[in-house]
A and B are shown apart, each in its own frame.
Chain A
Amino acid sequence: MTFGAAPTSAEREHASGVFARPAACAHCGTPLPPGAVPDENGEAFCCNGCRAVRAFILACGLDHYYRQRDDLAPPPRPAAPTARGYAELDHPDIAQRFVHDLGDGTAEVTFVLEGVHCSACVWLIERLPRVVPGVHEARLSFERAEVTVRFRPDLARLSAIARGLDGLGYPPHLPRRSSGELGDTQADRDLVLRLGVAFAAAGNVMLMAFALYSGATDTGEGPYATLLRWGSLALTLPTVAYSGAVFFRGAWAALRTRTPHMDLPVSIGIAAGTIWGTVNTIRGQGEIYFDTITTLIFLLLVGRWLGRRHQRAAARVVDLYAALSPTTARVVTVDGLVEMPARAVEENAIVEVRAGEPFPVDGLVASGTSAVDASSLTGESLPVTVTIGDRVYAGTKNTEATLLVRTEAAGAATRVSRLLASVEAAQRARAPIVKLADRVAGWFVWAALGLAAITFAAWSVVDPTLALDQAVALLVVTCPCALGMATPLAVSVALSRAARAGLLFKGGEFLEELSRPALFVLDKTGTVTEGQLRLVDWIGPNTVKSLLGAVEARSEHPIARAVMRDFAAEPKREASSVTAIPGGGVRGVVDGHQVLAGSPALVRRELCVEHLDPKLESAVTRFSQAGRTPIVVAVDGVALAAAAFADGLRSDARDTLAALEKLGARFALLSGDHPEVVAQAAASLGVPFVHVEGGAGPERKLACVTELERRHGRVVMVGDGVNDAGALAAARVGFSVHGGAEASLGAADVFATEPGLSPLLRAVVGARRTLRVIRRGIAFSLAYNAVGATLAVLGLLSPLLAAVAMPLSSLAVVTNAFRSRTFDAP
């Protein structure tokens, strides 16, 4: 399978006319890019990743995968194997932490996988035993994209398992769970159990209630009514004690902390109905409310269960990103390079970091000169040159050349880890949000209790034997089932729609907070701007462009990448003897011409001239004043062209902010970049800012958000970098844009999975619509309760009527939640 054979085979195909020319990638089904040509098998690929994965799948005899996939027609998605060796996984530290010995000669390990997207993936991944000898079983959890592999440690090494998964197109990562994952599973099971018990009890109690409502009485043949009542009691008491305990616990916590909560009125209704129903069963007269109570518990638990399921989705994405960030370091030892987990690197160990890789540790440069892209840690859009003795930080990126770094701190001691610790502190310090439904529940309790007291008093005068009956009937009928279900359902429906529209919320309360007018504090680099440099101006002959492209082709410097992106249409040329010049320059030979590119100062120095051509000098001055980065290109010793690079605004930034302004939002701009650049960006965004600040480090950002919150009320922080993490956690709502650093995802309350700034607008609009749905639901259930309460006070409410009306009202709020428009897919 070579590229060289491709054109001839394409011709052959064409001539024979047997094969249609393929239109889609043979592996993933993506439409082919223009340059792709079929190989000798008549197959064409969208990328080399897909080519490699298909070859591997066929070699393993797993071609059945393609039949599965064609039947299912999943969305096309190119494979992206890394072809890495995964040698670091064989480090004993890894085995100790991640491999569980099952005791029968086999062990278990769990990986988080990239690229799991359809059910054919499930089939393919679970065929891993055929790919890697020594693997017994592989089970995938699709939702979590986690595969659990059972294998024989003596036959299969972790690196071999990882290479197998990678070869199938699913690069594996060791899981880095957010704390409490195991506890979550336990809590989920617990809730499902309570739900199941409540369902079984409600069904049976309802059957007995049916008989009672249709007139079962104690006759000469037997005390049927008594039997049915005692039967209902036998089922209801354990249900209330077990399944209903959820609400009692919540109510107790609400009382203790004196915060209003929905569980309080619910508990009062359940408790009143159960106690009075039990008394009536023993007395053998009066109403029992067991059917209503068990159904109520069941329906409310359903609402709660749905809510939990949808909030979990956001946490899983954070976990996935956490697993993706690099955890390995290459340490220089006497035996050569050893790859090991980054947290295990010892102080003073020398670590090698190649161009394009992030630094795994904090340390001092021991050898080499390069530029460091620290934008995620500091917000600076331009890389900083470092050389021997300069300090570099974990999480920033090496862009130009290989560096050796003497480790000063690794793992939890790094600056970025300490920053994350401050994020957790900020999250703990934030005042809890009281949800709308809970606030309503707060005065609802008093209204229900007050009305019950009035009813009791009034009926004590009219007919004392009925007074308690009527008061309990009122408490049961006003038990806010519809209210308790209206909000969780509306929220969970909205959250799942939001997820489809590319927005993940970590909790329903942030919907409410986002829907209110707020001060939006925006980060600049990577949030309102692209976060990467682009060519914005070019002075000089166009032929120089391809020369510049040739010398920059291999560099990882942000300017070089901008050149590669923006000059992609220029003719390709090859450069030889390319060398990087410290201080942001590069030189090389292209078609016999000496090409030099770099900052104006560097080019002047290298050419040994005081001034460049006046036209270029004035252009360079103009670029600098406009806050752009100038680059001068010299060919054969003569400066010929000047280019300006800038981190441009996102294409949707202006429209998004204008639309948000119309919705009543105010703005502030807060960045770690140079103040002039920040001011420039603020001016070009077209909306007024209440506060613009540059040069703000992570700590300053956090303090500034707290201060703005005190002065302007609700603050929504919008950011993307590690440096925003503290501010994201401290703000009332933290919103992380797509492509944000893992730390910012962990700190944010809402994050976008679609690029650009427009998801922010979608989130705000969707949140407002959801709040309308919630209000409608609450209004309806309050109206229902008002009618029920009136009937109860007047003594016109029969338990049958209550039993029928309650599910009907719940049905109405469920319909309201599902039918309403909230988030629309983009």
Chain B
Amino acid sequence: MTVLFVVLPLTILISVFAVAAFVWAARAGQLDDLTTPPLRMLADESPPEPPPRQPASPPDL
């Protein structure tokens, strides 16, 4: 059971790493928008070959 003296500090150390990763993610803005990324994920990849670009003006109404 003496292994506890090693494992317990180790657990805390791992937790500190996990919290550090969380802090980094939050600071980088990854948790700011919780709605769009799940929606973005739903979209399939678009067909591989995009046709040539068209002039950027919508047709007249």
Interface residues of A (CB under 8 A from B): 48-49, 52-53, 55-56, 59-62, 64, 67-68, 71-72, 81, 83, 119-120, 122-123, 126-127, 130-133, 140-144, 160, 163-164, 166-167, 185, 188-189, 192-193, 196-197, 200-201, 204, 207-208, 221-222, 224, 227-228, 231, 234-235
Indicate whether A119 sits within 8 Å of B11 (C-beta atoms), given known contacts A141-B36, A188-B32, A189-B26.
no
Q: Is the interface of B mostly helix, strand, loop or mixed?
A: loop
Once the chains bind, are B56 and A132 in contact (CB under 8 Å)?
yes
Indicate whether A222 sits within 8 Å of B4 (C-beta atoms), given known contacts A126-B40, A200-B18.
yes
Once the chains bind, are B33 and A193 in contact (CB under 8 Å)?
no
Please name the residue on chain A nearest to B38 by beta carbon. A119
A305 CB to nearest chain B CB (Å): 11
Cβ of A160: which chain B residues have Cβ within 8 Å of it?
56
A736 CB to nearest chain B CB (Å): 25
Cβ of A133: which chain B residues have Cβ within 8 Å of it?
53, 56
Once the chains bind, are B4 and A193 in contact (CB under 8 Å)?
no
Listed by A's residue number, 16 A-B pairs whose Cβ atoms lie within 8 Å are A56-B58, A71-B44, A81-B58, A83-B58, A119-B40, A119-B43, A120-B43, A127-B46, A131-B56, A142-B33, A142-B39, A164-B58, A166-B58, A185-B29, A222-B2, A228-B8
The answer, among A132, A163, A189, for a CB contact under 8 Å with B27, is A189
Question: Which 7 pairs, one residue from A and one from B, show the smallest C-beta to C-beta distance?
Answer: A167-B58, A119-B39, A61-B51, A123-B43, A142-B36, A143-B35, A196-B22
**Please, how many angstroms separate the alpha-carbon atoms of A133 and B2 in the complex?**
67
Indicate whether A68 sits within 8 Å of B4 (C-beta atoms), given known contacts A130-B53, A132-B56.
no
Cβ of A49: which chain B residues have Cβ within 8 Å of it?
61
Once the chains bind, are A130 and B33 in contact (CB under 8 Å)?
no
Indicate whether A83 sits within 8 Å of B61 (C-beta atoms), given known contacts A185-B32, A200-B15.
yes
The answer, among A55, A64, A72, A196, for a CB contact under 8 Å with B26, is A196
Cβ of A60: which chain B residues have Cβ within 8 Å of it?
53-54
B48 CB to nearest chain A CB (Å): 11
**Please, how many angstroms separate the alpha-carbon atoms of A62 and B52 in the complex?**
11
**Please, how many angstroms separate the alpha-carbon atoms of A83 and B27 in the complex?**
40
B60 CB to nearest chain A CB (Å): 7
Cβ of A131: which chain B residues have Cβ within 8 Å of it?
53-54, 56
Cβ of B5: which chain A residues have Cβ within 8 Å of it?
222, 227
The answer, among B39, B44, B47, B56, for a CB contact under 8 Å with A163, is B56
The answer, among B12, B19, B47, for a CB contact under 8 Å with A64, is B47
A311 CB to nearest chain B CB (Å): 15
Please name the residue on chain A nearest to B58 by beta carbon. A167
Cβ of B46: which chain A residues have Cβ within 8 Å of it?
62, 64, 123, 127
A130 CB to nearest chain B CB (Å): 6
B36 CB to nearest chain A CB (Å): 4
**Please, how many angstroms separate the alpha-carbon atoms of A126 and B42 in the complex?**
14
Cβ of B57: which chain A residues have Cβ within 8 Å of it?
163, 167
Once the chains bind, are A227 and B4 in contact (CB under 8 Å)?
yes
Cβ of A228: which chain B residues have Cβ within 8 Å of it?
8
B55 CB to nearest chain A CB (Å): 9
Cβ of B54: which chain A residues have Cβ within 8 Å of it?
59-61, 131
Once the chains bind, are B11 and A204 in contact (CB under 8 Å)?
yes
**Please, how many angstroms separate the alpha-carbon atoms of A130 and B47 in the complex?**
13
Cβ of B50: which chain A residues have Cβ within 8 Å of it?
61, 130
Once the chains bind, are A200 and B19 in contact (CB under 8 Å)?
yes
Chain B, interface size category, equals: 35 or more
B19 CB to nearest chain A CB (Å): 5
Please name the residue on chain A nearest to B32 by beta carbon. A185
Cβ of A204: which chain B residues have Cβ within 8 Å of it?
11-12, 15
Cβ of B2: which chain A residues have Cβ within 8 Å of it?
221-222
Cβ of A234: which chain B residues have Cβ within 8 Å of it?
12
The answer, among B11, B26, B44, B47, for a CB contact under 8 Å with A193, is B26
Indicate whether A122 sits within 8 Å of B59 (C-beta atoms), given known contacts A133-B53, A141-B33, A204-B12.
no
Once the chains bind, are A68 and B31 in contact (CB under 8 Å)?
no
**Please, how many angstroms separate the alpha-carbon atoms of A221 and B31 in the complex?**
46
Please name the residue on chain A nearest to B39 by beta carbon. A119
Please name the residue on chain A nearest to B8 by beta carbon. A231
Cβ of A62: which chain B residues have Cβ within 8 Å of it?
46
Cβ of B52: which chain A residues have Cβ within 8 Å of it?
61
B5 CB to nearest chain A CB (Å): 7
A71 CB to nearest chain B CB (Å): 8
The answer, among B4, B19, B35, B60, for a CB contact under 8 Å with A142, is B35
Indicate whether A52 sits within 8 Å of B61 (C-beta atoms), given known contacts A188-B32, A200-B19, A224-B4.
yes
Please name the residue on chain B nearest to A142 by beta carbon. B36
The answer, among A122, A143, A208, for a CB contact under 8 Å with B43, is A122
The answer, among A59, A67, A221, for a CB contact under 8 Å with B59, is A59
Cβ of A126: which chain B residues have Cβ within 8 Å of it?
40
| Candidate in A81, A142, A163, A167 with the most chain B CB atoms within 10 angstroms | A142
- Contacts A56-B58, A235-B12 supplied; 18 other A-B pairs, CB < 8 Å: A52-B59, A68-B43, A68-B44, A72-B42, A119-B43, A123-B43, A123-B46, A131-B56, A133-B56, A141-B35, A142-B39, A143-B35, A185-B32, A192-B26, A197-B19, A207-B11, A208-B8, A231-B9
Please name the residue on chain A nearest to B2 by beta carbon. A222
**Please, how many angstroms separate the alpha-carbon atoms of A133 and B55 in the complex?**
8
Cβ of B44: which chain A residues have Cβ within 8 Å of it?
64, 67-68, 71
**Please, how many angstroms separate the alpha-carbon atoms of A131 and B2 in the complex?**
66
Cβ of B40: which chain A residues have Cβ within 8 Å of it?
119, 122-123, 126
Indicate whether A193 sits within 8 Å of B58 (C-beta atoms), given known contacts A61-B50, A72-B42, A200-B18.
no
**Please, how many angstroms separate the alpha-carbon atoms of A164 and B53 in the complex?**
12
**Please, how many angstroms separate the alpha-carbon atoms of A227 and B4 in the complex?**
9
Please name the residue on chain B nearest to A207 by beta carbon. B11
A796 CB to nearest chain B CB (Å): 32
**Please, how many angstroms separate the alpha-carbon atoms of A200 and B21 in the complex?**
12
B34 CB to nearest chain A CB (Å): 8
**Please, how many angstroms separate the alpha-carbon atoms of A71 and B44 in the complex?**
10
Cβ of B18: which chain A residues have Cβ within 8 Å of it?
200
**Please, how many angstroms separate the alpha-carbon atoms of A59 and B32 in the complex?**
35
Cβ of B56: which chain A residues have Cβ within 8 Å of it?
131-133, 160, 163-164, 167
**Please, how many angstroms separate the alpha-carbon atoms of A200 and B29 in the complex?**
20
**Please, how many angstroms separate the alpha-carbon atoms of A52 and B58 in the complex?**
7
Indicate whether A231 sits within 8 Å of B58 (C-beta atoms), given known contacts A130-B53, A142-B39, A189-B31.
no
The answer, among A83, A143, A222, for a CB contact under 8 Å with B60, is A83
Indicate whether A192 sits within 8 Å of B31 (C-beta atoms), given known contacts A133-B53, A197-B19, A224-B4.
yes
**Please, how many angstroms separate the alpha-carbon atoms of A130 and B19 in the complex?**
40
Cβ of B33: which chain A residues have Cβ within 8 Å of it?
141-144
Please name the residue on chain A nearest to B33 by beta carbon. A141
**Please, how many angstroms separate the alpha-carbon atoms of A572 and B57 in the complex?**
34
The answer, among B4, B9, B53, B59, for a CB contact under 8 Å with A56, is B59
B52 CB to nearest chain A CB (Å): 8
**Please, how many angstroms separate the alpha-carbon atoms of A500 and B33 in the complex?**
20
Once the chains bind, are B61 and A48 in contact (CB under 8 Å)?
yes
Once the chains bind, are A196 and B36 in contact (CB under 8 Å)?
no
**Please, how many angstroms separate the alpha-carbon atoms of A122 and B4 in the complex?**
51
Cβ of A200: which chain B residues have Cβ within 8 Å of it?
15, 18-19, 22
**Please, how many angstroms separate the alpha-carbon atoms of A60 and B36 in the complex?**
24
Cβ of A192: which chain B residues have Cβ within 8 Å of it?
26, 31
Cβ of A141: which chain B residues have Cβ within 8 Å of it?
33, 35-36
**Please, how many angstroms separate the alpha-carbon atoms of A805 and B50 in the complex?**
61
A412 CB to nearest chain B CB (Å): 31
**Please, how many angstroms separate the alpha-carbon atoms of A61 and B52 in the complex?**
8
The answer, among A140, A188, A224, for a CB contact under 8 Å with B1, is A224
